[in-house]
Chain A
Amino acid sequence: AQSVTQLGSHVSVSEGALVLLRCNYSSSVPPYLFWYVQYPNQGLQLLLKYTSAATLVKGINGFEAEFKKSETSFHLTKPSAHMSDAAEYFCAVSKYSSASKIIFGSGTRLSIRP
């Protein structure tokens, strides 16, 4: 069975600091991994997805994530946080080799301090 665990329900960083949001996955098959962002009162928006083509995946808004099979991790990073990055971030895994039937983590709320 697939599952994801996001470490830390709330992360706070200063503007300009490194953003690191942690995600570990469990999957019995090669996973299809995602990071989504949700801004207040909005739906989810895809940041990036891992499809086994490359272990370092670059997404929108300067975010990237690295797939590490040995650590079963898919952490999300951004070198320099902006105030506009404040949102909730969800890591997700697909049960199949596509974006179908995604299983979401519980989310990490990112706050940015001025």
Chain B
Amino acid sequence: NAGVTQTPKFRVLKTGQSMTLLCAQDMNHEYMYWYRQDPGMGLRLIHYSVGEGTTAKGEVPDGYNVSRLKKQNFLLGLESAAPSQTSVYFCASNDPFTSTDTQYFGPGTRLTVL
């Protein structure tokens, strides 16, 4: 049981390049989330999904797109990276329909945009 995994762990992009971050969970959770973490600002929700095939915007969705084609995977895409997107990205998942409803976090992806 690996929990929540994220790929890659580190990435450096040039302005304007695109990339996709992959999040995978093996806990059969319905809900999945993408956050970004910036110094002094805590975690801010980018997008989330309440089930396979569904996505919704969070607090800071601009410049990002997401897809949830399979229940266990949640992809975060940057179509044209900007230096303002330099951050640490965390994926999380939970199942609100169980008594152990808790968000489980991945180890993070550190992204630098030059």
Contact = CB atoms under 8 A, between A and B. Distances in A.
Interface string A38-71: 0001111110010000000000000000000000
A100 B90 contact: no
Interface string B80-114: 00000000001010101000011101111000000
Counting chain B residues whose Cβ lies within 8 A of the other chain, the interface size class is 20 to 34
Interface residues of A, number: 20
A45 B33 CA distance: 15
A107 B58 CA distance: 20
Nearest to B106: A43
Contact of B40 (A49, A98, A106): A106
Interface in A90-114: 90, 96, 98-107
Contact of A107 (B4, B42, B105, B106): B42
Interface of A: 9, 41-46, 49, 90, 96, 98-107
Interface of B: 4, 31, 33, 35, 40-45, 48, 50, 58, 90, 92, 94, 96, 101-103, 105-108
